[in-house]
Amino acid sequence: MKVKLVAIAKDEAAYIAQWVFHHLHFGFDAIEIHVNRTEDNSTVVLEKIVSQYPDKVSYRNADWVDIAPDCVSRVMQYAVYAEAYQRTKSEGEFTHICFLDIDEFWTPRDFCSSVKSCLESLDKNVSSVSFNWLNVLDEKIAFSSLTNPLKVQPASTVKSIINLKSDVSRVQLHLSEFLDNDHFYGHIMNDGRRFKHSAKERQRLAESEKDVEYPFFILHRMFRTQIEYVSLLYRGNPRGNTPFKMNRPGYIVTALNQKEVMFNGELYAAYLAKYKLFEESLGLIEDLKSAQKNIEARFEDAINRLEEIDTADSVHFDGIKRIFSGVEDSRVKSAIQKLSPTVGVKTQERFLVSRFKKNLKRIF
């Protein structure tokens, strides 16, 4: 059994080393990172990692997606993952493949089991094994490794490991679709139970399943600290219609369904010590400091851009207000308040025009 992990990284040099170390530590056989639309020192960091782990870590430039027609470049993740899946399957070296983002950490609850021990404990033929998100909340220290304990919010979103013996009909970001042939053996969760889909969305777990304490999960660090959160919002919207990432719920510190995850103290201490050695042995200290300064500078750029938004951008106001909710920075609050009255008028105008048109249709 050999498991390959694939990711796409955009201006995430500050986090790549942590992410790579974590997944090597928990037994992934190979890690392949596709660098896309990146201006920071990601390739410098990756070159140093690859030099010491040439058989386990590799990276590719994924900017080729941007010279494709818009219908392709706007779904960049799907295109890159589909190519990686097809190439990995045809090469025949690996038995399984998994797609994660750099803010997603595959983690065993016991903090020692490997990804292969997880898969070996389950039906060897099953087509996919899924792991639900635990959104990590209220991180206090910027650019930190995982802390212990963690405050988390269980979510119905999943990421999945694909069995390459099965035939994918459509690569999806969370739960891929398979051809219904002799090689399809179903979807399960990592405790061995059948995957129960949400009634509204096939790729998500049923609400009743998200609070189950699964033996393995994905720690989703999409919030981190507030400075990091705002900075990461300004990496752009893949669809290109706003300068901010719009698929965020706002900065969440606490949640009604939050739980605590606590790892074994000795195992956690050993993990931190090994990561520190990983950083030092690769000579990454100064590179990571540079990457962190880039994150901090982008935080300032994000607020400057937010302050520049005027009524021309008002169509996106509801989304902008949502993604910046919970952020306590005084400049952010001031910029949102400045927009509110103007946008309220514009929104009302659009509503009245829409209602007028509907009434005309009824008359004629």
**Residue 261 backbone zone (phi > 0: left; psi -120 to 50: alpha; other: beta):** beta
CB 236 within 8 A of CB 248: no
Rounded CA separation 148/169 (Å): 40
pTM, to two decimals = 0.91
The whole-angstrom separation of Cα 178 and Cα 279 is 40
Contacts for 35 with CB less than 8 Å, ≥ 6 apart? 8, 9, 10, 42, 43, 46, 59, 60, 61, 62
Quick one: 319 exposed, middle or buried, by C-beta within 10 A (0-12, 13-18, 19+)?
middle
pLDDT of residue 134: 98
* DSSP result, 320-335: HHHHHTT---HHHHHH
- Helices H / strands E in the chain, number of each: 10, 12
User: What DSSP character marks residue 238?
Assistant: T
Give pLDDT, residue 345: 44
So what's the pLDDT on residue 55?
A: 97
- Looking at residue 243, its pLDDT comes to 82
What gap in Å lies between CA 100 and CA 318, rounded to an integer?
Answer: 29
Query: Do 212 and 194 touch, CB atoms closer than 8 A?
Result: no
Please identify every stretch of the chain with a pLDDT value under 70, giving residue numbers as ranges.
Answer: 236-241, 311-315, 340-364
pLDDT at 355: 44
Q: Which domains does the chain have, with CATH numbers?
A: 3-221+253-283 (3.90.550), 289-363 (no CATH)
For residues 158 and 174, is the Cβ–Cβ distance under 8 A? yes
